[in-house]
Structure 1
Amino acid sequence: MTIFGILVIVNVNAQESNFGLKAGADFASMKLKAEGDNASVSETGFYIGAFAEIAISDSFTFQPEVLYVSIEDLDQIAIPLLAKFPVSEEFNVLVGPALGIMLDAGDGMKSLNFGAEAGIAYDFSEDFFVEARYNLGLANLLDGAPSGYSVKLSGFFVGIGYRL
């Protein structure tokens, strides 16, 4: 079953659904590991995209997203599948897996990325919110990498959103 099919089934059974748009800055880091040596490269980019909020219960909302993330020469479509838990009326905790499809993976690089995301969101009103999240890249993006060699992409996201 595809992700779309799962979203349709969850949406039919959900108590309430909201859709919205979001955008912000991405402070990305690419960590390189080779023969025991480590190096890190940091770049600042942006993200823009859409999300759905599907209320499963009073204490749990499923929040799938589709984001375009642009960082210098590295663009990807990010698909976070987040669980959203309210801490108070305004504050929410977000956690879940994230997939990434690298749009310009070069020779020797994989085009599929995956990781884990965690963060917080603050609702200014029913329509507007701000968020801060960290995406920990778990996938080794080097294609056919020998043991001890890896390239992993992570990012800190800060942005705003609007519920339609």
Structure 2
Amino acid sequence: MKKSILLFGLICFSYCLTAQSEFGIKGGLNFTFFKVTEGDFGTNPDTEVGYYAGLFSDFSINDNFRLQPELIYIGINDFKFLNAPIYLKYNINSDLHILVGPSLNYFFDFFSNNFKVRADLGLGYDLSDNLNLHMKYTIGFEELSPNIIFLGIGYKL
């Protein structure tokens, strides 16, 4: 079931790349807040700084709404995973946007459960027609899934 959901997300992303859409690259820093410390499910989170880089596609639904799927590689020390969010993007004005949607994640070597579905909430600001700043917060629903803040820059090709 989980692999089917991931496959569906990757197919949607592939379709978006071939549809009438804008395409770009993005990257930046992430700040990860783990909810556990070495098997202890306590409330003292550890924080790690990492990086991310990937691709995005952005296409119009109507004047105010867009769909923006992404495929992102994330590294936090030895902790690596793929992130495939599918955002509904609302244009507050011509430069400021709210992004919300599910996030499909495949974790490499993360215990026995490698696939997780999470929720993302983000803001984007267009500096120019091609360059934008973005910030998003990813919420992990399970005890072993970290919450992450992303700060980065994107460039439409």
TM-score bucket of the superposed structures, by smaller chain = 0.7 to 0.9
1:75-114 → structure 2 map (5 Å cutoff)? 75-105=80-110, 108-114=111-117
Rounded Cα–Cα distance in structure 1 between residues aligned with 2:42 and 2:12? 42
User: Once the two structures are superposed, what CA deviation does each residue of 1:96-123 show, in whole Å capped at 9, x if it has no partner?
Assistant: 0101111132xx4421122111111000
TM-score, normalised relative to structure 2: 0.85
What fraction of aligned residue pairs are identical, expressed as a percent? Answer: 29
User: Once the two structures are superposed, what CA deviation does each residue of 1:43-69 show, in whole Å capped at 9, x if it has no partner?
Assistant: 000000000001111111110000000
Q: Which residue of 1 aligns with 2:49?
A: 44
Q: Which residue of 2 aligns with 1:130?
A: 133
Larger radius of gyration: 1
Q: CA deviation at 1:7?
A: 4.8
Are 2:24 and 1:20 aligned? Answer: yes
Letter in 2 for 1:153: P
Which one has the bigger strand percentage?
Answer: 1
Q: Which residue of 1 aligns with 2:154?
A: 161
Which one has the bigger helix percentage?
Answer: 2
User: Structure 2: which 5+ residue stretches go unaligned?
Assistant: 1-6
Q: Which residue of 2 aligns with 1:64?
A: 69
RMSD in angstroms over aligned alpha carbons? 2.3
Alignment length, in residue pairs?
A: 150
TM-score, normalised relative to structure 1: 0.82
